[in-house]
């Protein structure tokens, strides 16, 4: 008998935190359990062949918004060529709206919600009886101290080549309706002393980039300060080790005691992902988002001017009640605060997220296929939404890439959103493409556009070899985080 824990990660550099939690909590079944991860885009027959080479009795799949279609193909092939293998699904994508999903119909069992302990009990029942009668098993949420930490299951290969995700707490006390965490009642911290011991072990094993996935890292200030102090101690004791830590920060909660800790970090050692999402007060109210805009702006400005932290700030287009003009004002406001990156996101309808309650009143139309991106609403028609999608893509290529820092002020000029939307429309008209545009080609396009706007302006970009050589640790650490982290479930 054997059990395989598997998933398809968004890219190789990611390592599934959720699977490692399951592995750490397998108890007496640990000796017959192994991890086997793949990357989206891998041929389904190749995945099936590698899974079956281990002659598994049970295969548990972690299912997410970015891999559900490909895992469904894998499960369908497994059921055709090896119907005796028991398939168990878990993860956020199969935790809600379960009955209507094709992948659920293919599987033998599904664990919804927290699977840390429930998956192990289900496997024991499958292997040793009594045979489970129900297909859907609601995950038990145990006390946090009963969940074994997963970090020992990061291998030396993971540490050398992949992102190492850390979780100081689960859940979120806020009710933002676009997020699955809106369903949580609060945030639950892991025992801090034990967590710090785990961080110490990871550091001793060579981990230098730590990516925390907590929704609200700065909710408990005392815990936040102790975690930051752990990294400050390492930086002071080993300044050549280049330690880097990434956290998600609540924008309007930054007391002086936490500011004192943040100010101590040297350049290239700290990154904050900060969700603004919208500055529109009425939209915030509509989607149950509590945010003090004045305090958030004050804190962003302080972080940018008084610290070395790298700031990655999120906005979401397509929220119910917000039109293009309102989003543009928020975008321009955020540009004026000069964060290092602005993640221009397009609203998605996550299964189970309360945002769907606004579908009728605000004309929300979502793509029926993952990642369920909004196509239109009563304030933004389909064609305009597609322009915003292209804006987001080109913004990543031009602004967030860091290749055109000296040029960007001229591109944005006095009206950042309007100017960049015009540039976005122009690039698309010229290329009919949003991908596979080389940096050299993009540089030429920017030069041509600026010359058409102002013949006296010339593009001055950093040579590409210098750009790559000077990439910051924050640049290397961020890859894919914002997409993978949003929908992961331990």
Which domains occur in the chain, in start order? 3-144 (3.40.50.280), 163-380 (3.20.20.70), 397-478 (no CATH)
Nearest to 39 by CA among 15, 12, 74: 12
**Residues lower than pLDDT 50 in the chain:** 459-490
Q: How many CB atoms lie within 10 A of CB 22?
A: 27
The pLDDT score that the predictor gives to residue 454 is 78
SS (H, E, C) the chain: CCEEEEEEECCCCCCCHHHHHHHHCCHHHHHHEEEEEEECCCCHHHHHHHHHCCCCCEEEEECCCCCHHHHHHHHHHHHHHCCCCEEEEECHHHCCCHHHCHHHHHCCEEEECCCCCHHHHHHHHHHHCCCCCCCEEECCCCCHHHCCCCHHHCCHHHHHHCCEEECCEEECCCCCCCCHHHHCCCEEECCHHHHHHHHHHHHHCCCCEEEECCCCCCCCHHHHHHHHHHHHHHHHHCHHHCCEEEEEECCCCCCHHHHHHHCCCCCCCEEEEEEEECCCHHHHHHCCCCCCHHHHHHHHHHHHHHCCCEEEEEEEECCCCCCHHHHHHHHHHHHHCCCCEEEEEECECCCCCHHHHHCCCCCCEECCCCCCEEEECCCCCHHHHHHHHHHHHHHHHHHHCCCCCCCHHHHHCCCHHHHHHHHHHHHHHHHCCCCCCCHHHHHHHHHHHHHHHCCCCCCCCCCHHHHHHCCCHHHHHCCCHHHHHHHCCC
- Render pLDDT for 308-331 as a digit per residue (tens, 0 to 9): 999 999 999 999 999 999 999 999
Distance CA 313, CA 471 (A): 19
The pLDDT score that the predictor gives to residue 185 is 84
Distance CA 177, CA 347 (A): 11
What strands lie across the sheet with 33-39, from one edge to the other?
33-39, 3-9, 58-62, 86-90, 109-112, 136-138
Tell me the pTM. Answer: 0.90
What lies within 8 Å, CB to CB, of 354 at 6+ separation is: 175, 177, 182, 183, 288
The bridge status of strand 365-366 relative to strand 341-346 is: unpaired
Q: How many CB atoms lie within 10 A of CB 325?
A: 10
The pLDDT score that the predictor gives to residue 22 is 98
Nearest to 54 by CA among 74, 77, 36: 36
The pLDDT score that the predictor gives to residue 457 is 52
The pLDDT score that the predictor gives to residue 443 is 93
Long-range contacts of residues 94-102, Cβ cutoff 8 Å, at least 24 apart: 94/63, 94/68, 95/139, 95/351, 95/352, 95/489, 96/351, 96/352, 97/351, 97/352, 98/136, 102/72
């Amino acid at each position: 008998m054997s059990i395989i824990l598997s998933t398809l990660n968004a890219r190789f550099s990611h390592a599934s935190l959720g699977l490692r939690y399951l592995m750490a909590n397998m108890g007496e079944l640990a000796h017959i359990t192994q991890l086997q991860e793949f990357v989206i885009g891998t041929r389904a027959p190749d995945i099936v062949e590698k899974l079956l080479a281990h002659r598994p009795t049970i295969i548990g799949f972690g299912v997410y918004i970015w891999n559900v279609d490909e895992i469904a193909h894998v499960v369908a092939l497994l059921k055709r060529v090896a119907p005796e293998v028991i398939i168990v699904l878990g993860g956020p994508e199969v935790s809600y709206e379960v009955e209507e999903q094709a992948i659920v119909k293919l599987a033998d069992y599904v664990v919804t919600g927290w699977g840390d302990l429930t998956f192990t009990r289900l496997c024991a029942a499958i292997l040793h009886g009594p045979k489970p009668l129900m297909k859907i098993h609601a995950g038990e949420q145990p006390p946090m101290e009963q969940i074994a930490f997963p970090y020992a299951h990061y291998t030396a290969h993971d540490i050398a080549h992949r992102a190492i995700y850390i979780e100081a707490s689960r859940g979120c006390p806020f009710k933002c309706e676009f997020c699955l965490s809106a369903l949580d009642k609060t945030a639950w911290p892991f025992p801090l002393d034990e967590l710090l011991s785990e961080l110490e072990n990871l550091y001793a094993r060579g981990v230098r980039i730590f990516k925390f996935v907590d929704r609200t890292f700065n909710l408990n200030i005392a815990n936040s300060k102790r975690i930051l102090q752990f990294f400050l101690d390492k930086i002071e004791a080993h300044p050549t080790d280049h330690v880097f830590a990434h956290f998600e920060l609540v924008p309007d909660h930054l007391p002086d005691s936490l500011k004192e800790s943040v100010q101590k970090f040297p350049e290239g050692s700290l990154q904050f992902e900060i969700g603004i999402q919208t500055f529109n007060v009425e939209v915030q109210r509509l989607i149950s988002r509590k945010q003090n805009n004045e305090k958030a702006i004050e804190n962003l400005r302080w972080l940018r001017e008084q610290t070395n932290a790298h700031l990655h700030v999120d906005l979401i287009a397509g929220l119910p009640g917000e039109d293009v003009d309102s989003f543009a004002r928020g975008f321009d406001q955020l540009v004026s605060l000069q964060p290092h990156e602005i993640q221009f996101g397009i609203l998605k309808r996550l299964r189970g997220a309360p945002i769907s309650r606004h579908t009728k009143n605000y004309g929300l139309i979502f793509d029926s296929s993952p990642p369920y991106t909004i196509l239109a609403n009563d304030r933004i028609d389909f064609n305009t939404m597609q322009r915003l999608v292209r804006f987001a893509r080109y913004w990543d290529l031009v602004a967030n890439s860091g290749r055109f820092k000296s040029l960007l002020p001229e591109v944005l000029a006095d009206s950042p959103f309007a100017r960049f939307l015009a540039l976005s429309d122009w690039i698309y008209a010229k290329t009919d493409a949003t991908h596979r545009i080389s940096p050299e080609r993009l540089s030429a396009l920017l030069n041509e556009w600026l010359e058409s706007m102002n013949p006296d302006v010339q593009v001055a970009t950093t040579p590409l070899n210098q750009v790559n050589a000077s990439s910051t640790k924050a640049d290397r650490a961020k890859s894919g985080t914002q997409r993978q982290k949003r929908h992961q479930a331990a």
